[in-house]
């Protein structure tokens, strides 16, 4: 098929004047259904089916670009009638009845944000109002230069979008601490082949779907998927298979907001003209994606995150249920060590170390061990700059109320500030979940109580920090929180009357209603009469790391020695309520 023919038929409208408002012309053709979901259609299985035959997908017209809005009460798609210009049609569920509410000239490929409040139309957008959608607005100067066809957004407000040309380039732009970053190009895992277009990013950013022409495909454009790896990188492109792809153009894939079904369109523009052409919307059970994810895992080494490393964990023998010093003589030495954290690919280990023989010569260093050429190499990054934590996607290094970003070269950027929301809080340690929720402490609180706070990312905006309830903020010296990537639990340390001595490590599990359970002391295996603190779990989920005060090395030392310990993370699962 000639792609430019398709563009002329379905995209030529882009140069028309954009309507200032969406017409509210109601169509009297109401569709009564016994089942309200999905326009009353019987859901498909693992074989794609036409979506709503004769209602949406017709024989006489061309239909493409079908998407539901969150809430599943609005369905948008593009239809071209022979001799007319394409229109965007909208079906809405009103009074338990689906009806075609209006159809207007097409001004772009519709994508709805995960909160349902923004409609993206290429490099423009609309916002939802009580009376309908606003006028179209520009996304800003960073996007004006790109002839964007489709832009989709994750729940973190990461934009993923294409560019209308023969090769096609898919780019992304994240919202970092409330600021929109300059668009960046995806790597070759996605940007390979021709006609690379129509990306869809999962709300949780765990995968990307797009279409392209590649060697080994089934004919015209095929649909591909890439799953995000633990280190934040994107996995190889996986053709979605002959069940989805055909000899025609299969494109514009997306998953319904309820996560149940995968939608795409199939197009064949005949050289014999409109009457011999067809373009329809298809749907299939979204389990096809999970099946491909399983296939992707089977193609990867089975040893989670460490298979490519001949000597994982700095070559140390893993501990059992009794804590052990981590890497004695390598990491755990005679002086003070603190805050061990691995990157998601388990190939970098960061921590703070005190050096110097004499008291007056002692200073703190920021140290990293990196796995290179099948061996671990140690280097000093800088003097102490904060307590390090690597975000679950591996792209941000948090350092209290400051941070660094991983650049395209793989190096870390210069230190940046988190912003005004955090400027007045004296943060020691800040950790983040996969959803972008920050959890952090504050040093120097009156009375030594310590307050642990959180700040969520809601619809791409960072909310003002809020303190946790008494389940966590009870006792004194509450500090050094760690939030699980999936937000199912929080670890922290503090002093409570029921503790074993100095600061102990506690865990709180998230309850089914979203609240936090009572604090659970990790027990005498972890906690002693000494100081235990700064707990975290390795990105592969296997080991719990924490710090323990092991006393003074010399009687004349000003400060006690602190070492990094590790233990099997099953100790946390044993405490999880059944």
- CATH number of residue 181's parent domain: 2.120.10
Q: Which of 265, 298, 331 is the last residue of a domain?
A: 298
**Does residue 292 share a domain with residue 398?**
no
Least confident of 273-277, 393-397, 573-577: 273-277
Looking at per-residue pLDDT, the higher value among 274 and 279 belongs to 279
**Does residue 414 share a domain with residue 276?**
no
Average pLDDT of 475-485?
A: 95
Q: Is 454 left (phi over 0), alpha (psi -120 to 50) or beta?
A: beta
Looking at per-residue pLDDT, the higher value among 6 and 117 belongs to 117
Q: Is 551 left (phi over 0), alpha (psi -120 to 50) or beta?
A: left
pLDDT at 1: 40
In a domain, 244, yes or no: yes
Q: With 0-12 CB in 10 A as exposed, 13-18 as middle and 19+ as buried, what is 448? A: exposed
**Does residue 183 share a domain with residue 66?**
yes
User: Residue 555's pLDDT band (boundaries 50, 70, 90)?
Assistant: low
- Chain segment 414-463, per-residue pLDDT in tens: 999 999 999 999 999 999 998 899 999 998 766 667 899 999 988 778 99
In a domain, 231, yes or no: yes
pLDDT at 359: 67
In a domain, 356, yes or no: no
- Chain segment 489-545, per-residue pLDDT in tens: 999 999 998 899 889 999 999 998 999 999 999 999 999 999 999 999 999 999 999
Q: With 0-12 CB in 10 A as exposed, 13-18 as middle and 19+ as buried, what is 259? A: exposed
CA dist 264 to 278, 381, 551, Å? 14, 48, 63
CB 66 within 8 A of CB 51: yes
pLDDT at 299: 58
pLDDT at 510: 94
In a domain, 378, yes or no: no
Looking at per-residue pLDDT, the higher value among 550 and 272 belongs to 550
Domain hosting residue 491, numbered range: 392-575
Distance separating alpha carbons of residues 382 and 64, to the nearest angstrom = 55
Residue 577 is classified by DSSP as: -
pLDDT at 14: 34
**Does residue 214 share a domain with residue 97?**
yes
* CA-wise closest residue to 572 among 507, 515, 494: 507
CB 403 within 8 A of CB 389: no
**Mean pLDDT, rounded, of the chain:** 87
pLDDT at 308: 56
Average pLDDT of 132-139?
A: 94
Report whether pLDDT(558) > 50: yes
Average pLDDT of 195-224?
A: 95
What element of type H or E holds 478?
strand 476-483
User: Residue 27's pLDDT band (boundaries 50, 70, 90)?
Assistant: very low
Domain count across the chain = 2
Average pLDDT of 55-81?
A: 95
**Does residue 396 share a domain with residue 281?**
no
- Chain segment 279-327, per-residue pLDDT in tens: 999 999 999 999 998 877 765 544 444 445 678 999 999 999 999 999 9
**Does residue 566 share a domain with residue 418?**
yes
User: Residue 162's pLDDT band (boundaries 50, 70, 90)?
Assistant: very high
Average pLDDT of 152-163?
A: 95
In a domain, 318, yes or no: no
Q: With 0-12 CB in 10 A as exposed, 13-18 as middle and 19+ as buried, what is 151? A: buried
Which string of DSSP letters, residue by residue, matches 305-349? TTTT-SSHHHHPPPP-SS-EESSBTTTB-SS-EEEEEE-TTS-EE
Average pLDDT of 366-394?
A: 90
In a domain, 326, yes or no: no
The counts of H helices and E strands in the chain are 6, 46
Average pLDDT of 386-404?
A: 93
Average pLDDT of 7-17?
A: 38
**Does residue 420 share a domain with residue 529?**
yes
Among 110-119, 329-338, 400-409, the range with the most confident prediction by mean pLDDT is 110-119
**Does residue 264 share a domain with residue 142?**
yes
pLDDT at 53: 96
In a domain, 348, yes or no: no
- Chain segment 317-372, per-residue pLDDT in tens: 999 999 999 999 899 887 788 889 999 999 999 999 988 667 667 788 999 999 98
For the question of whether the overall pTM of this predicted structure is more than 0.75, the answer is no
Q: Is 160 left (phi over 0), alpha (psi -120 to 50) or beta?
A: beta
Report whether pLDDT(554) > 80: no
Distance separating alpha carbons of residues 4 and 86, to the nearest angstrom = 16
Q: Which of 282, 298, 314 is the last residue of a domain?
A: 298
Q: Which of 298, 319, 338 is the last residue of a domain?
A: 298
Looking at per-residue pLDDT, the higher value among 83 and 506 belongs to 506
pLDDT at 23: 37
User: Residue 559's pLDDT band (boundaries 50, 70, 90)?
Assistant: low
In a domain, 534, yes or no: yes
Query: In this structure, what CATH number is given to the domain that contains residue 511?
Result: 2.120.10.30
């Amino acid at each position: 098929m000639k792609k430019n023919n398709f563009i002329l038929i379905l995209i030529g409208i882009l140069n028309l004047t954009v309507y200032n408002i969406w017409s509210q012309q109601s169509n009297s053709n109401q569709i009564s259904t016994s089942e309200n979901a999905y326009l009353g259609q019987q859901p498909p299985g693992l074989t794609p089916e036409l979506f709503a035959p004769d209602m949406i997908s017709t024989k006489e017209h061309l239909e493409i670009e079908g998407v539901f809005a969150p809430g599943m009460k609005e369905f948008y798609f593009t239809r071209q009638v022979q001799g007319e210009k394409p229109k965007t049609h909208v079906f809405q569920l009103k009074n338990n009845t689906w009806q075609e509410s209006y159809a207007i000239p097409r001004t772009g490929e519709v994508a709805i944000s995960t909160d349902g409040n923004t409609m993206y139309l290429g490099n423009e957008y609309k916002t939802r109002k009580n009376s309908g959608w606003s006028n179209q607005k520009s996304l800003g100067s960073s996007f004006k230069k790109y002839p964007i066809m489709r832009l989709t957004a994750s729940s973190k407000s990461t934009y993923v979008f294409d560019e209308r040309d023969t090769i096609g380039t898919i780019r992304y732009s994240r919202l970092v601490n409330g600021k929109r970053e300059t668009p960046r190009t995806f790597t070759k895992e996605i940007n390979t082949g021709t006609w690379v277009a129509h990306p869809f990013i999962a709300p949780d950013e765990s995968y990307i779907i797009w279409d392209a022409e590649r060697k080994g495909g089934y004919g015209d454009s095929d649909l591909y998927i890439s799953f995000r790896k633990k280190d934040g990188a994107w996995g190889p492109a996986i053709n979605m298979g002959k069940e989805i792809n055909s000899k025609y153009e299969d494109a514009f894939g997306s998953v319904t907001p309820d996560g149940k079904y995968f939608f795409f369109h199939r197009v064949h523009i005949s050289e014999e003209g409109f009457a011999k052409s067809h373009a329809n919307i298809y749907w299939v059970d979204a389990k096809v994606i999970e099946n491909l994810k399983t296939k992707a895992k089977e193609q990867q080494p089975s040893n989670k995150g460490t298979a490519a490393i001949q000597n994982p964990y700095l070559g140390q023998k893993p501990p059992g249920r009794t804590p052990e010093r981590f890497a004695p003589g390598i990491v755990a030495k005679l002086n003070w060590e603190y805050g061990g954290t691995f990157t998601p690919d388990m190939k970098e280990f960061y921590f703070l170390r005190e050096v110097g023989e004499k008291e007056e010569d002692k200073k703190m260093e920021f140290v990293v061990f990196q796995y290179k050429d099948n061996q671990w190499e140690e280097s000093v990054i800088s003097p102490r700059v904060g307590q390090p934590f690597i975000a679950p996607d591996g792209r941000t290094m948090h350092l209290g109320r400051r941070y660094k970003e991983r650049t395209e070269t793989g190096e870390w950027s210069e230190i940046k500030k988190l912003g005004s929301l955090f400027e007045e809080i004296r943060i020691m340690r800040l950790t983040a979940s996969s959803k972008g929720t920050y959890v952090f402490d504050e040093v120097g609180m009156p009375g030594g109580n310590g307050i642990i706070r959180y700040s969520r990312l809601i619809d791409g905006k960072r909310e003002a920090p809020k303190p946790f309830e008494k389940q966590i903020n009870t006792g004194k010296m509450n500090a050094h929180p760690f939030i699980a990537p999936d937000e199912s639990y929080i670890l922290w340390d503090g002093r409570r009357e029921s503790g074993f001595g100095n600061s102990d490590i506690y865990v709180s599990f998230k309850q089914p209603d979203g609240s936090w359970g009572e604090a659970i002391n990790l027990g005498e295996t972890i906690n002693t009469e000494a100081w235990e603190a700064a707990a975290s779990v390795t990105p592969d989920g296997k080991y719990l790391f924490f710090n323990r005060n092991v006393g003074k090395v010399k009687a004349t030392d000003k400060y006690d020695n602190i070492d990094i310990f590790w233990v099997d993370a099953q100790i946390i699962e044993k405490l999880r309520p059944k």
